[in-house]
Amino acid sequence: MRNILFISGIVISILVTSCSSEQVVEINNPVDQIELTSDIMTPEVLWSFGRVSGVEISPDRTTILFGVSFYNMGENRGNREIFVMPVEGGKAINITNTESGEYSAIWRPDGKKIGFLSAESGELQIWEMNPDGSGRTQISNVEGGVNGFKYSPDQSKIVYIKDVKLDKSVVDMYPDLPKAEARIETDLMYRHWDRWHDYTYSHVFIADFNGASLSNSYDIMEGERYDTPMKPFGGMEQINWSPDGQEIAYTCKKKVGKQYTLSTNSAIYLYNLNTKETKNITEGLKGYDVNAVYSPDGKMIAWESMERDGYESDQNRLFILDFESGERKDYTADFDQDAHGLAWTEDSKSVYFISDYHARFQIYNLIIESGEINQITDGVHNYRSVHPYGDKLIGTKQSMTKPTEVFAVNSETGEETQLSFINKNLHKQLTYGKVEERWVKTTDNKDMLVWVIYPPHFDPNKKYPALLYFQGGPHGSVSQFYSYRWNFQMMAANDYIIVAPNRRGLPSFGKEWNDQISGDYGGQNMKDYFSAIDAVSKEPFVDENNLGAVGASYGGFSVFWIAGHHKGRFDAFIAHDGIFNFEDMYLETEEMFFVNWDIGG
């Protein structure tokens, strides 16, 4: 049954006092205006949640900014707004309220302005505004637009990324055919992920900044047929300034065509603004090397590194290079988990990071001198980011019952305090199903974590159909994610028991468990699925005569495979975008390293 939304048109205003004047600032959180007719999750309700991301702490450590994306189903559009709030907690204020949306918001190093991207003038450009949202000014006018940017530490320069056309289209080669839509391809990577190669490459530019506009812009990758950030999903986390502003670290896979498709061997490059020289600091490392971050004292640089070329789901290690000694060290050699989202402490003595263990993402801390790694947070949730300041941390957290919000964490005790409440109004109107952790024995006598999600008004005396969820990837743990596509609460709201196993091939259970699936697509992981559904279907509240299977991508392949091998267990099969033919898959997959590694070429 649809859960119809009634949205009032009330916009609340308050007075915000600035140094020079009083200004009316609209607080417009659409979620606060929603009234539900039922306490059950529906697609309409799911699309009404505000999606929080992009947390930044002000240079004076007093204020947090973050972005929230809101969607309007009636208008079939979304918009991103910028909120600010005190770092110790308090009212989150929407300082934008515009039709164009604001993206990639960051503090200017002096804290007097907030920089952001906006297409208000027609294409994405760099803008600035005061911390209260007033004084919006466009500071870039880059042909073709800007896709990301960062200030130098002294804000005298800005690094930005834009697309540069280096390859010729059919029309370029044959100007007498101006309406030609054909393509002439002589090498691979003419299509990547969900789009055709458009003859451009993402390049890194540096420009002088005088506080009002950019000048003297130049391309540090001029003529190179490579992308930084790396496509299809890389962002500004792959580009960072050194503390003295004399160097930029960036991630790039400097390969083209067939060699690009066969390898995951990216590298960390350091570009010196004075000498204009570029240096590869990850020479000899064979897998992905990404997301380099300088220590605040400038003496070290940390990054995420994978060991094996061609294996995109290898363990994500934490490497640090000491510039003085030249030592390059893996600090996670004895840590059988991944490390993501590296963040240095202000004293350069330790690095915080996010790691997944048993399908939960927690905050960890590496002490550089001793090499000791400590877990900071605990609980049934996923932390998605961490930002140290003083003895506290700011992070974003989610779970299967709560979308992302901003939290403060005590770095010593792990004690958490929720700071943002963007979706509070919806939470108080909804009833969520219980999420239960179970450990199930597999056919080879190992223990497998299975999440069981119950209907919101579960009655143990009733029998419910069960739906077995098949994860895609094939790597990517069934963790405490809050998905806007595969939302377990929405599935369970239709009176289903949801069974979500962390079968073989999913990370956060050690390297051996993660690696096992490669070359064994129809093997042990399928037995794991049977173990999960067989264990849960024994419960008296499960109708074992009404079992379904659902999944996408590799999960879709799993549904297809199960349909031919389930021996009467299932009554319904739902496969989205599933692998159906391995020969076609090999010929159609643009990242050939993936099919070479996982299915043997």
Looking at per-residue pLDDT, the higher value among 588 and 60 belongs to 60
Q: Is the pLDDT of residue 42 over 90?
A: yes
Residue 390: the pLDDT is: 86
Say how far apart CA 384 and CA 53 lie, in whole Å.
9
Residue 401: the pLDDT is: 97
pLDDT in tens, 266-321: 999 999 999 999 999 999 999 999 999 999 999 999 999 999 999 999 999 999 99
Q: What is the dihedral of CA 480, 486, 489, 492, to 10 degrees?
A: -130
Q: What is the mean pLDDT of residues 120-135?
A: 97
Q: Is the pLDDT of residue 99 over 90?
A: no
Q: Is the pLDDT of residue 557 over 80?
A: yes
Sequence-ordered list of residues with C-beta below 8 angstroms from that of 501, at least 6 positions apart, any chain:
440, 448, 449, 450, 451, 468, 469, 478, 528, 529, 531, 532
Q: What is the mean pLDDT of residues 398-420?
A: 97
Residue 11: the pLDDT is: 36
pLDDT in tens, 477-507: 999 999 999 999 999 999 999 999 999 999 9
Query: Picking from 220-224, 541-545, 587-591, which range would have the lowest pLDDT averaged per residue?
Result: 587-591
Q: How high does pLDDT run on average in the chain?
A: 94
Q: What is the mean pLDDT of residues 189-210?
A: 94
Say how far apart CA 347 and CA 368 lie, in whole Å.
11
> How would you class 558 by CB atoms within 10 Å of its CB: exposed for 0-12, middle for 13-18, buried for 19 or more?
buried
Q: Is the pLDDT of residue 12 over 60?
A: no
Residue 15: the pLDDT is: 34
Q: Is the pLDDT of residue 1 over 80?
A: no
Enumerate the domain spans of the chain. Answer: 1-138, 435-599
SS (H, E, C) 5-35: EEECCCCEEEEEECCCCEEEEEECCHHHHEE
Q: What is the mean pLDDT of residues 183-192?
A: 91
Q: Is the pLDDT of residue 521 over 90?
A: yes
Residue 194: the pLDDT is: 87
- In this structure, are residues 147 and 227 in contact, taking their beta carbons and an 8 Å threshold? no
Q: Is the pLDDT of residue 27 over 60?
A: no
Q: What is the mean pLDDT of residues 245-258?
A: 98
Measured from the Cβ of residue 296, the count of other Cβ atoms closer than 10 Å reads: 15
φ, ψ for residue 563, nearest 5 deg: -60, -30
- Which tokens go with 459? 């009655």
Measured from the Cβ of residue 156, the count of other Cβ atoms closer than 10 Å reads: 13
Residue 25: the pLDDT is: 40
pLDDT in tens, 429-478: 999 999 999 999 999 999 999 999 999 999 999 999 999 999 999 999 99
Sequence-ordered list of residues with C-beta below 8 angstroms from that of 7, at least 6 positions apart, any chain:
30, 33, 34, 35
Say how far apart CA 186 and CA 258 lie, in whole Å.
10
pTM of the model: 0.94
Q: Is the pLDDT of residue 111 over 70?
A: yes
pLDDT in tens, 347-389: 999 999 999 999 999 999 999 999 999 999 999 999 999 999 9
Say how far apart CA 595 and CA 601 lie, in whole Å.
6
- In this structure, are residues 548 and 466 in contact, taking their beta carbons and an 8 Å threshold? yes
13 band by pLDDT with thresholds 50, 70 and 90: very low
With vertex at residue 57, the alpha carbon angle to CA 249 and CA 157, rounded to the nearest 5 degrees, is 40
Domain 435-599 belongs in CATH node 3.40.50.1820: yes
Q: What is the mean pLDDT of residues 39-63?
A: 97
2 band by pLDDT with thresholds 50, 70 and 90: low
φ, ψ for residue 564, nearest 5 deg: -95, -5
Looking at per-residue pLDDT, the higher value among 422 and 100 belongs to 422
Q: What is the mean pLDDT of residues 496-519?
A: 97
DSSP secondary structure, 375-404, as one string: E---SSSEEEEEEEETTEEEEEEEETTEEE
Q: Is the pLDDT of residue 10 over 80?
A: no
